[in-house]
Amino acid sequence: GQQVMQIPQYQHVQEGEDFTTYCNSSTTLSNIQWYKQRPGGHPVFLIQLVKSGEVKKQKRLTFQFGEAKKNSSLHITATQTTDVGTYFCAGQAAGNKLTFGGGTRVLVKP
Partner 1 sequence: DTEVTQTPKHLVMGMTNKKSLKCEQHMGHRAMYWYKQKAKKPPELMFVYSYEKLSINESVPSRFSPECPNSSLLNLHLHALQPEDSALYLCASSQIARGDYGYTFGSGTRLTVV
Which residues are near partner 1 by CB under 8 A?
Answer: 30-31, 33, 35, 41-48, 50, 88, 92, 95, 97-103, 105
Q: Which is nearer to partner 1, 3 or 14 (CB)?
A: 3
Q: Which is nearer to partner 1, 1 or 110 (CB)?
A: 1
Residue 75 · residue 18 · CB < 8 Å:
yes
3-state SS, 53-87, equals CCEEEECCEEEEECCCCCEEEEEECCCCHHHCEEE
Closest CA to 102 of 40, 41, 22: 22
- Minimum distance from residue 36 beta carbon to partner 1 (Å): 11
- Minimum distance from residue 31 beta carbon to partner 1 (Å): 6
- Minimum distance from residue 75 beta carbon to partner 1 (Å): 20
Q: Which is nearer to partner 1, 16 or 100 (CB)?
A: 100
Closest CA to 92 of 27, 43, 35, 36: 27
